[in-house]
């Protein structure tokens, strides 16, 4: 099989060919680009292997491209160039071996065959020649083409060798299976099961990088089921594994919260590509195992799981090395509030709507997406009924916001203004007055405007014996 025509359309490959000729190197395009070329998928990350120094090749290419900058990683013998939309990475063909206790490889020069042997999967172990005589010729020693056709993820050598060498490849296997909608070869999957504990030596940052790619796939539940069944999920996310299972007392059972969570995640994935909204779906019921109680008169309950879950979010994000910024706060807010809109569907009051708008702020639209996704049941009629009631809540949210402008609420009277008006020193009384005004607005006692807020402030100040200094 030859891809000379496809490669010839992109000038960068001729540049690599010319630079290799100058150095007397054999060079190849390898890995993901070759896979995606065959699948018809775009890929701007180009990995080149040469029989020689990858750094020397990169520097020669950089000269031919007009002396563009080269990033060199001497410890790994690799170099990288950014050129237009492309990211070009260069490495000399090598052999790698790993110590049992380490994720850092011992590297030595090798042949193209050595380089292909160390690749993670057959579909990523294909190479295309770039020399003038054989330009575009495919080298496929492990039948990657056949595995692409059959939609199979398989290791090029024995799985225990591949996964022991770099345990992150177990996550990558599941990630590729999820993204491409492929099956994992039975022997390869058994290798993951056998080696799953070895994932512990991999940094959490690398694990999360792969997990987030699974989460961002069109149907993330597929990846999570593979993670769960293989034992990998328990290694780094036991709290989610704890959601699995159904308990019976007096012939009464609760739903399996693990599979419910996956359904909610898939539902969210259908309406949003936002990673953090998808994380909120994953974590929305995370505290159910620790709040689960059986009450003879009510059956199974999970009272307070939303608050407990919200409190768990920062520690989980910290352990997962996820951002401890507004992204975490966003997820925490949605976990805390995810029951509120559904509860409102039973009795929609303007006060409750205003409070929800105030607490959710800019997250209100994403909260409603999560809540819609959370309405799951095998009973289609029940789901339809819930969604119809939910539409009433959404309609009232729009109406109340139009009238009262509670979203991203800003106090009509500031603390500094209160201090000036009554010649007060900063203290608790300022916060108490602001809180009373806010509560009056949320309760609908006064409209959300400055004049009404000032009138109420005068009344509250008089009750406290405060003397007006001057209106700001």
Angle at the Cα of 110 from the Cα atoms of 104 and 116, rounded to 5 degrees: 80
* Shared-domain flag, residues 403 and 267: yes
Does a structural domain hold residue 470? Answer: no
Mean pLDDT of 413-433: 87
Does residue 283 contact residue 335 with C-beta atoms inside 8 Å? Answer: yes
Residue 95's pLDDT is: 67
Q: Does residue 357 have a pLDDT over 60?
A: yes
Evaluate if residue 399 carries a pLDDT over 90. Answer: no
How confident is the model at residue 394, as a pLDDT?
81
Residue range of the domain that includes 76: 4-149
Q: What are phi and psi of 20, to 5 degrees?
A: -65, -40
Q: What local confidence, expressed as pLDDT, does residue 369 receive? A: 94
* pTM, full prediction: 0.85
Q: Which is higher by pLDDT, 399 or 258? A: 258
Q: Between 423 and 339, whose confidence is greater?
A: 339
- Count up the domains in the chain and report the number: 4
pLDDT of residue 97: 53
Instruction: Quote the pLDDT of residue 279.
Output: 98
Q: What is the mean pLDDT of residues 352-361?
A: 85
Judge if 264 and 382 occupy the same domain.
Answer: yes
Domain harbouring 45, CATH code: 3.30.460.10
Domain boundary among 409, 436, 454: 409
CATH for 210: 1.10.110.30
For the segment 370-378, the average pLDDT, to the nearest whole number, is 85
Confidence bin at 101 (pLDDT 50/70/90) = low
Q: Are residues 391 and 285 in the same domain?
A: yes
Q: What pLDDT is recorded for position 349? A: 79
**Same domain assignment for residues 132 and 218:** no
pLDDT of res. 440: 87
Predicted local distance difference test score (pLDDT) of residue 471? 54
Residue 411 has pLDDT above 60, yes or no: yes
- ∠ CA(375), CA(379), CA(385), 5° rounding? 60
Band the pLDDT of 107: cuts 50, 70, 90.
low
Does residue 112 surpass a pLDDT of 90? Answer: no
Shared domain for 169 and 287, answered yes or no, is no
175 and 256 in a single domain? The answer is no
What rounded mean pLDDT belongs to the chain? 89
- pLDDT at residue 397, rounded to an integer: 83
Instruction: State percent of the chain over pLDDT 70.
Output: 95
- Spatial contact of 275 and 216, defined as CB atoms under 8 Å apart: yes
Mean pLDDT of all residues in 120-149: 95
pLDDT at 314: 98
With respect to residue 468, please indicate whether it lies within any of the assigned structural domains.
no
For residues 43 and 185, state if they share a domain. Answer: no
- Give the pLDDT confidence of 45-97 residue by residue, as tens digits: 999 999 999 999 999 999 999 999 999 988 778 999 998 888 999 999 876 65
Which pLDDT does position 137 carry in this prediction?
Answer: 96
pLDDT band for 426, please (50, 70, 90 cuts): confident
Of the residues 149, 172, 203, which one is the last residue of a structural domain? 149
Q: Same domain, yes or no, for 162 and 196? A: yes
Alpha-carbon span 103 to 200, nearest angstrom: 10
Give the per-residue pLDDT at 470.
54
Do residue 118 and residue 176 come from a single domain?
no
Q: Are residues 439 and 398 in the same domain?
A: no
Does residue 344 form part of some domain? Answer: yes
Asked which of 124, 149, 174 is the last residue of a domain, the reply is 149
Q: Are residues 217 and 317 in the same domain?
A: no
Read off the pLDDT of each residue in 322-340 and give the average, rounded to a whole number.
96
Task: Specify the higher pLDDT residue, 17 or 464.
Answer: 17
Which has the higher per-residue pLDDT, 450 or 99? 450
Supply the pLDDT for residue 125.
94
Mean pLDDT to the nearest integer, 197-202: 95
Model confidence at 98: pLDDT above 70: no
Kindly state whether residue 187 falls inside one of the protein's structural domains.
yes
Average pLDDT value for residue range 276-296: 95
469 in a domain, yes or no? Answer: no
Confidence (pLDDT) at 105: 55
Report residue 412's pLDDT band, with 50, 70 and 90 as the boundaries: confident
pLDDT at 106: 57
HEC secondary structure over the chain: CECHHHHHCCHHHHHHHHHHHHHCCCEEEECHHHHHHHHCCCCCEEEEEECCCHHHHHHHHHHHCCCCCCEEECCCCEEEEEECCEEEEEEECEEEECCCCCCCCEEEECCHHHHHHCCCCHHHCCEEECCCCCCCEEECCCCHHHHHHHCEECCCCCHHHHHHHCCHHHHHHHHHHHHHCCEECHHHHHHHHHHHHHHHHCCHHHHHHHHHHHHCCCCHHHHHHHHHHHCHHHHHCHHHHCCCCCCEECCEECCCHHHHHHHHHHHHHHHCCCHHHHHHHHHCCCCHHHHCEEECCCEEECCCHHHHHHHHHHHHHHHCCCCCCHHHHHHHHHHHHCCHHHHHCCCCCHHHHHHHHHHHHHHHHHHHHHHHHCCCCCCHHHHHHHHHHHHHHHHHHHHHHHHHCCCCCCCCCCHHHHHHHHCCCCCHHHHHHHHHHHHHHHHCCCCCCHHHHHHHHHHHHHHCCCCCCCCC
Please check whether residues 249 and 360 belong to one and the same domain: yes
What is the percentage of the chain residues whose pLDDT exceeds 90?
59
The confidence score (pLDDT) of residue 300 equals 81
**Is residue 471 a part of any domain in this protein?**
no
In a domain, 472, yes or no: no
Q: Does the residue 142 lie in any domain? A: yes
- pLDDT exceeds cutoff 70 at 408: no
């Amino acid at each position: 099989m030859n891809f000379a025509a496809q490669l010839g359309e992109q000038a960068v490959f001729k540049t690599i060919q010319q630079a290799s000729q100058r150095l007397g190197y054999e060079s190849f395009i390898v890995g993901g680009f070759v896979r995606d070329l065959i699948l018809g998928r775009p890929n701007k990350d180009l990995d080149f292997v040469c029989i020689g120094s990858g750094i020397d090749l990169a520097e020669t290419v950089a000269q031919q491209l007009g002396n563009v900058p080269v990033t060199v990683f001497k410890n790994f013998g690799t170099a990288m160039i950014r050129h237009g939309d492309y990211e070009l990475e260069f490495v000399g063909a090598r052999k790698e071996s790993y110590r049992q206790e380490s994720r850092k490889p011992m590297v030595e020069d090798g042949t193209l065959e050595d380089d292909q042997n160390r690749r993670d999967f057959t579909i990523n172990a294909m190479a295309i020649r770039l020399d003038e005589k054989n330009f575009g010729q495919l080298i496929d020693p492990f039948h990657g083409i056949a595995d692409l056709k059959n939609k199979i993820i398989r290791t090029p050598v024995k799985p225990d060798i591949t996964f022991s060498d770099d345990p992150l490849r177990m996550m990558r296997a599941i990630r590729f299976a999820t993204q491409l909608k492929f099956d994992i070869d039975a022997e390869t999957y058994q290798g993951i099961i056998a080696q799953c504990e070895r994932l512990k030596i991999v940094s959490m940052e690398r694990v999360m990088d792969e997990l987030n790619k699974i989460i961002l796939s069109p149907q993330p539940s597929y990846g999570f089921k593979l993670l769960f069944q293989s034992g990998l999920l328990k290694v780094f996310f036991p709290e989610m594994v704890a959601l699995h299972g159904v308990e019976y007392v007096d012939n009464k059972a609760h739903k399996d919260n693990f599979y419910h969570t996956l359904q909610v995640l898939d539902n969210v994935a259908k309406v949003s590509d936002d990673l953090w909204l998808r994380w909120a779906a994953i974590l929305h019921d995370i505290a159910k195992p620790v709040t689960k109680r059986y009450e003879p008169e009510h059956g199974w309950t999970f009272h307070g799981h939303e608050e407990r879950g919200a409190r768990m979010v920062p520690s989980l994000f910290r352990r997962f090395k996820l951002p401890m910024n507004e992204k975490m706060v966003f997820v925490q807010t949605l976990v805390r509030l995810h029951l509120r809109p559904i509860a409102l569907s039973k009795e929609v009051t303007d006060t409750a709507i205003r409070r929800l708008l105030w607490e959710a702020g800019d997250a209100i639209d994403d909260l409603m997406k999560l809540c819609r996704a959370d309405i799951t049941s095998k009973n289609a009629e029940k789901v339809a009924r819930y969604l119809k009631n939910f539409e009433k809540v959404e309609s009232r949210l729009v109406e109340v916001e139009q009238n009262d402008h509670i979203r991203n609420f800003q106090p009509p009277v500031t603390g500094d203004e209160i201090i000036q008006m009554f010649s007060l020193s900063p203290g608790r009384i300022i916060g108490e007055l602001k809180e009373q005004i806010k509560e009056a607005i949320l309760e609908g006692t006064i409209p959300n405007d400055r004049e009404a807020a000032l009138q109420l402030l005068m009344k509250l100040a008089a009750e406290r014996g405060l003397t007006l200094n001057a209106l700001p």
